[in-house]
Amino acid sequence: MNSEICLGVLFCILSLVAEGSTSNGSCASKSLQSCSECVKDWDCYYCEKTKFCGKRPIIKPKTSECDGDWYSYKQCTLSGNLLLIIIPTVLGVLLVITICICYCCCCRKCSRRRTARRFAKEDARREAEREQREMRHAERVAERKVKHDEIRKKYGLYKDDEEGEGNAKYQRFDVA
């Protein structure tokens, strides 16, 4: 099974290489023909101004070969000069979109986790401060109760628990 796949891949590569090698000489023979006839081969480009069909360069033909619009890549609708602008722009936009998606998906999640941890720490600190305030308040209430009880004893307003738990600790003044 693997040998069949390897042979298939090797056949495809050899056919592409053979197609590329046969089109090298055929580009010049298609000069003065139509654009569609010239760019049928992947390696050829067509110059609109001079009706020249030549071997496609890596980026753009020399000014001496083609001074105007040129077409390539098996199409005659978009000029090669225009493609040199459109393709990098589209790739740049896709790169920016990809970076934004990565930021939104990955970095913002991490940021949210950090924020949640920070808020959890702040909440724990505030809770501890609240408990300390409540404890200080309870201590102050107890101190005030002791002072009030001492004052009540001093002026005779406080009765001891001799009469039982259910009885009132205070007695009313008789105003005569």
In-domain check, residue 167: no
The boundaries of the domain holding residue 135 are: 91-156
Are 71 and 79 a contacting pair, CB within 8 Å? Answer: yes
Torsions phi, psi for 70 (to 5 deg): -135, 150
Residue 79: helix, strand or coil by DSSP?
Answer: coil
- pLDDT in the model for residue 23: 44
Mean pLDDT of 12-38: 64
- Pick the last residue of a domain from 77, 99, 115: 77
Domain count, the chain: 2
- Judgement on whether residues 68 and 26 belong to the same structural domain of the protein: yes
Q: Contact at 8 Å (CB) between 50 and 66? A: yes
Whether residue 141 is found in the same domain as residue 102: yes
Domain co-membership, 57 together with 8: yes
Q: Residues of the chain with pLDDT > 90: what percent? A: 22
Q: Does any domain span residue 146?
A: yes
How confident is the model over 123-160, as pLDDT tens digits?
Answer: 999 999 999 999 999 999 999 999 999 888 888 876 65
| Sequence-separated (6 or more) residues with CB below 8 Å from residue 76 | 35, 36, 39, 46
Is residue 30 classed exposed, middle or buried when 0-12, 13-18 and 19+ CB atoms within 10 A define those classes?
buried
* Nearest in space to 55 (alpha carbons), one of 64, 68, 65: 65
The pTM of the whole model exceeds 0.95: no
